[in-house]
Amino acid sequence: MKGWRSLFGAGVQCVSLQTTGEPVRRCPNEGGGHTHVRGRVHGPGTYHLSLQLETKHAGGGLYQGGVLVATATSRSDGHSVPIKCRWKRRLGAHLIEIPGINNSMYHTSVDDIGADVVCVAEPVDDPSQGQSVGVLGPFMLDPISKMNLEKMLQSENHFFIVQHYLEEDDPDPRDLRIHITQDYVKVVHPGANGGSREAVAPYSADYPKVVIDPLDPNKFRLELSEETDNIYHFAALCHQPRDDIALLIRCFHARKYVTTSFILSHLFQNPATPGAPLTNVQPDGFDIHALGERLGKELDRTVGQLEVVEKVVKNATNEKGELQAQLRETISSYTEAIEQLHDQLADARGGPAASLQLQLLEARAQQNSLQLDM
């Protein structure tokens, strides 16, 4: 544990969940000013499980970006007990398995926001001792990430520099750029001589998709489509830009596929369905002014997009009228030219050209008669 404290610095906060059946409560640690959280953990009586969160955030809050460490000790002699763990997320009454991790350490991420993290541990040497289950949560978005996200959502273009791994163990990653807008996600491949290659994915029902690596706090997978060439293994410089990329893509995706009316229907009573149950909203977690400001910005953005569409339609209509006028003028000019040609041909049939043709026919007839006489 000293190693983790030296890694996170002197201001590290320690939030711990012990194997007790008491309700969750917080109390200060007089030794180092840490905050402890003791909650519900159940398991066999042969060993003692401890689930501990190491985080940089002050105040002992359960924020993403920390490290969960599970340890076990024997109740008889206090010696350490090697364990293997399975990690899950609990959303309401549903447990979701976190794949790809079975060790005793787990890096929390933006995937855990709003959920409880569940650790199912059992001894490695003697699984017959049974399993212990520890729960910690729900996790929240830290204030700095929340502030950064609100600022980014007000803008339309965002660029992030990441390292691209062709394979998971690629020793020589390349620097690529991710361009995120409210309409699409683009991966830019810098090329030689100033050229570049781009892979663009507009927001659809399933893509683009960000998959967080549970073992590494910086790595993630960006899937632009189901094709293998559009699946990228990236690593950010630290966990903060990785969280920003995941949150920004998911917010823009939700903004496109989750309507404001759906959100409001879960917050307020719908006049069209009187008596329908409302979603319980805690007063301290619901800010009507912030919601009104956010919806006002969303309305302004939608009105701006509508004005742009109207301008495009108006320009297209004007261009269509001009093209139709040019087409009518071209047709009339060709019609006049054709009529002139018809007049010239009609004049040629009764004029000097016609007399010349008659003389030519008479000359051929005389030639035929002379040949017969000869």
Q: What is the CATH number of the domain that holds 218?
A: 2.30.29.30
Half-sphere exposure of 101 (CA within 13 A, CB side): 22
Does a structural domain hold residue 191? yes
In this structure, are residues 140 and 110 in contact, taking their beta carbons and an 8 Å threshold? no
114 and 8, same structural domain?
yes
131 and 157, same structural domain?
no
Tell me how far apart the alpha carbons of residues 80 and 85 are, in angstroms, rounded to a whole number. 15
**pTM for this structure?**
0.59
Does a structural domain hold residue 124? yes
Domain boundary (140, 163, 181) is at 140
In this structure, are residues 13 and 34 in contact, taking their beta carbons and an 8 Å threshold? yes
Does a structural domain hold residue 249? yes
148 and 136, same structural domain?
no
Tell me how far apart the alpha carbons of residues 194 and 326 are, in angstroms, rounded to a whole number. 42
Structural domain containing residue 160:
144-258
228 and 119, same structural domain?
no
Tell me how far apart the alpha carbons of residues 370 and 374 are, in angstroms, rounded to a whole number. 6
Residue ranges, the chain, pLDDT below 70:
1-41, 57-60, 191-196, 258-288, 290-291, 346-354
Q: Which of 130, 96, 137, 93 is nearest to 115 (CA)?
A: 137
102 and 13, same structural domain?
yes
- Return the CATH number at 18: 2.60.40.2700
Number of domains the chain is built from:
2
Q: Which of 196, 233, 240, 194 is nearest to 217 (CA)?
A: 240
6 and 132, same structural domain?
yes
100 and 175, same structural domain?
no
Domain boundary (105, 125, 140) is at 140
Task: For 297, list phi and psi in degrees, rounded to 5.
Answer: -65, -40
155 and 121, same structural domain?
no
14 and 39, same structural domain?
yes
18 and 125, same structural domain?
yes
In this structure, are residues 24 and 3 in contact, taking their beta carbons and an 8 Å threshold? no
What does the pLDDT read at residue 6? 33
What does the pLDDT read at residue 59? 58
Strand order in the sheet with 157-165: 196-202, 184-190, 174-181, 157-165, 231-235, 219-223, 209-212
What does the pLDDT read at residue 130? 85
18 and 38, same structural domain?
yes
120 and 244, same structural domain?
no
